[in-house]
Structure 1
Amino acid sequence: MKKLLLFLLPAALMAACTETKKAEQNEVSENEWVVLFDGTSTDSLRGYGIDVFPEGVWLVEKGMLVTNPDTANRDLLTKGRYKNFELEYEWAVDTAANSGVFFHMQENLTMEAGNGNSPNWLDNFEIQVLDDIYFNDTAAVRSAGSLYDLIIPTNKKLKTIGDFNQARLIHNNGHVEHWLNGAKVLEFEIGSPEMTKLLAESKFSNNPGYGSDKEGHIMFQHHGQRVYYKNIRVKRL
């Protein structure tokens, strides 16, 4: 019996250590970067309304996430949900292409939008990704780097079509900053009088729940044109 116990005890300790290590890996601490897309693995991402990566709708090509314009659109979500976070990513667009990065996205509506985009896009803040030159809508408030239809970006220096822009998006207890190619192009406070006024004067005025979610998924939009994302990582704040 003693010999059996001596044999079983180390095995039990090893199993406990393994489970502890797994738990530690799954519960990433604050201020620790987590890679969401490293050029090959899509394990951290899935399609809106489905549990898997939307193969064929989004492609992995030469280390990039690429939208396929020849399919029905389906937006891409992080599997994790985030409240306070810092997100870094790089994006490029094809000619006349449109996309966007959303945060605090919910997934409580069915896929009924006519173009295949998630129906929740009207409920949450969007950082615009766009070809400012050839896209058919040239309004500055909907240009690349803007808070879509709400805040015009400043100090913006875009790369040429096909070249990658470096972006950084921060949300921390209602304070939001968006950085593009090393320059801060906008910031705002969720729920501030200024933001309340902007919303009241916007096309979102009839949606009282706009931007009210405190946490949710990060989403990359498939708008029907070819766009490219790479080097995506996030950390909780």
Structure 2
Amino acid sequence: MNYPRVSVVGLLALALTLNVKTIANTTNPEKPKKGKWETLFDGKSLTGWHIYLKAGQPVSDKWTVDDGAIHLVSGGAGDLVTDKEYGNFELEVEWKIAEGGNSGIIYHVHEDPKYKATYQTGPEMQVLDNERHPDAKQGRDGNRTAGALYDLQKPITPGAAKPAGEWNKAKLVVNNGKAEQYLNGKKTAEYPTSGPEWDKMVAESKFKGWDGFGKYATGHIALQDHGNKVWYRNIRIREL
């Protein structure tokens, strides 16, 4: 039987190609796929949400659906939280605050009766009317202004928020012990969610000594009732 001739050069080229592919597969493993986007608000109802510490009960009539947005009509309702808990995720949401208003987007909220409020466990991305609410001038270096990691870190990009009454687009990415916050396409915060640097930030904030604050790697997403009118819409999340 006759066999086709294979040149030495051809064999060397084949071996080199196989070796390169092996190295590439070893040094550049395929990244895990991100989850699919999940809508957290359908624009019509508050299905999938409940008042903090009141799961299974009717949502307060102070949290309403108004023209495709979740609307806090007046204070005293309690914070609205997702039924589901999330660990690593990318969250997108649009918000609009009334003049002089204050609210917040809080994550990794641990729902337990020993914690009377969502902010006792969860870090907060501030929602605020910077021009009129006194919080904007309190804290340190603007760390209580809209888009900031509330009372923990001054904004990387100050002044990213639009005025009261206008829609702002926020994004929050939490993944493998790190978090990034964006407002209207501008990065406003970047920080570790645990470890020495995080502990130092907490120790220098109003949360110093708070049992449970920032201690949970999974939890609910909360929309804060701070007593002022606020609107949220186009809320979606994907797990990472």
Query: Structure 1 length as normaliser, TM-score?
Result: 0.80
Match of 1:21 in 2: none
- 2:120 maps to a residue whose letter is L
Percentage of identical aligned residues: 38
- Once residues 58 and 68 of structure 2 are traced to their aligned partners in structure 1, the CA distance between those partners, rounded to angstroms, is 16
Q: For 1:9-88, what aligned pairs fall within 5 Å after superposition?
A: 30-50=34-54, 51-52=56-57, 54-69=59-74, 71-88=75-92
Residue 166 of structure 1 pairs with residue 160 of structure 2: no
Residue 103 of structure 1 pairs with residue 107 of structure 2: yes
Alpha-carbon shift at residue 190 of structure 1 (Å) = 1.7
- Farther off after superposition, 172-181 or 33-42: 33-42
Alpha-carbon shift at residue 158 of structure 1 (Å) = 1.5
Residue 130 of structure 1 pairs with residue 132 of structure 2: no
- Once residues 95 and 101 of structure 1 are traced to their aligned partners in structure 2, the CA distance between those partners, rounded to angstroms, is 18
Residue 198 of structure 1 pairs with residue 196 of structure 2: no
Q: 1:153 to 1:120 in 2, by over 3 A?
A: same
- 1:80 maps to a residue whose letter is K
- Once residues 162 and 36 of structure 2 are traced to their aligned partners in structure 1, the CA distance between those partners, rounded to angstroms, is 29
Query: 3-state DSSP class of the match of 1:184?
Result: strand
The one-character-per-residue Cα deviations of 1:77-99 (angstroms, maximum 9, x if unpaired) are 11111010110000010011110
Match of 2:213 in 1: 210
Match of 1:226 in 2: 229
- Once residues 104 and 86 of structure 1 are traced to their aligned partners in structure 2, the CA distance between those partners, rounded to angstroms, is 13
Asked if structure 1 preserves the Cα contact closer than 8 Å seen for 2:63 and 2:77, the reply is no
- 1:128 maps to a residue whose letter is Q
Query: 3-state DSSP class of the match of 2:156?
Result: coil
The one-character-per-residue Cα deviations of 1:135-193 (angstroms, maximum 9, x if unpaired) are 12223111111111101112242212111000000110111000110111111012233
Asked if structure 2 preserves the Cα contact closer than 8 Å seen for 1:105 and 1:218, the reply is yes
Query: Structure 2 length as normaliser, TM-score?
Result: 0.79
- Once residues 164 and 210 of structure 2 are traced to their aligned partners in structure 1, the CA distance between those partners, rounded to angstroms, is 34
- Once residues 98 and 110 of structure 1 are traced to their aligned partners in structure 2, the CA distance between those partners, rounded to angstroms, is 25
Asked if structure 2 preserves the Cα contact closer than 8 Å seen for 1:42 and 1:53, the reply is no
Stretches (4+) displaced over 6 A: none
- Once residues 68 and 212 of structure 2 are traced to their aligned partners in structure 1, the CA distance between those partners, rounded to angstroms, is 37
Asked if structure 1 preserves the Cα contact closer than 8 Å seen for 2:76 and 2:225, the reply is no
Alpha-carbon shift at residue 41 of structure 1 (Å) = 2.8
- Once residues 172 and 181 of structure 1 are traced to their aligned partners in structure 2, the CA distance between those partners, rounded to angstroms, is 21
Task: Give structure 2 stretches of 5+ with no counterpart.
Answer: 1-32
- Number of positions where the alignment pairs a residue of Structure 1 with one of Structure 2: 202
